[in-house]
Amino acid sequence: SVTTSVTMTDALKQNLYFAKVSSLDSSVRVQGAVMKITDVDEPNKYIEWTTTSAAKKIEVGSTYPAGSFALVIGHTYTFEELQAPDGYKVAESITFKVEGTTIAPRMTIVSGDTSALYYDQQTIAMKDEPISVLLRKVSETDAIITGAYFDLYESVGTTDTLVKKDITTTPGEPTVTLT
């Protein structure tokens, strides 16, 4: 007698990735931002999370799984920052479309920062811009004064913490990045 066996395996589903990076250095992951991805046509289908040092991995499917969230092929989504971490501005939202197949998905940017999409078309890295403060020392006649020393402190409750110590130089306008 001959025995034949057949093994069936499900096709592996792939993931798409979402990260927050500094606009000054894209290798720096911004942690603590509250993010949301929402289906443009079905706003009750969304996912929220707080960023960490790792990119958010989201599975791609052909339909929405019961009780959870996946990105669906052919759907358009809005990737938005609900709350920026201290020292950063809230970034502009990015609208993207999921294309391809569940085995080989890719994204295209519909609107927003097109440079946020990595070359592999499987990762979007939204850029957060640090908040900057322009310090200017001027005379009574509004002439810029160079050579002025300054200390910039952050006050939290009763504690003052030195953030930056610098001197104004030509043209007398140091910029302090608060991250």
pTM value? 0.74
Q: With 0-12 CB in 10 A as exposed, 13-18 as middle and 19+ as buried, what is 113? A: middle
Q: What is the pLDDT of residue 16?
A: 93
Contact 129, 88 (CB under 8 A): yes
Check residue 23 and report its DSSP letter.
S
Q: What is the pLDDT of residue 13?
A: 64
Q: What is the pLDDT of residue 6?
A: 66
Retrieve residue 175's tokens: 């910029």
Band (167; pLDDT cuts 50, 70, 90): confident
3-state secondary structure of 96: strand
Report the C-alpha gap between 90 and 125 in whole angstroms.
14
Longest dimension (CA), the chain: 104
Q: Check pLDDT > 80 for residue 172.
A: no
pLDDT tens-place string over residues 116-156: 988 788 999 999 988 877 777 778 888 777 777 888 887 88
**Which of 86, 150, 97, 94 lies closest to 121 in space, CA to CA?**
97
Query: pLDDT tens digits for 16-73?
Result: 999 999 888 888 899 999 999 999 999 999 999 999 999 999 999 888 888 788 999 9
Distance (Å, rounded) from C-alpha 177 to C-alpha 98? 35
In this structure, the number of other CB atoms found within 10 A of the CB of residue 168 comes to 19
Q: What is the mean pLDDT of residues 157-175?
A: 74
pLDDT, residue 178, reads: 56
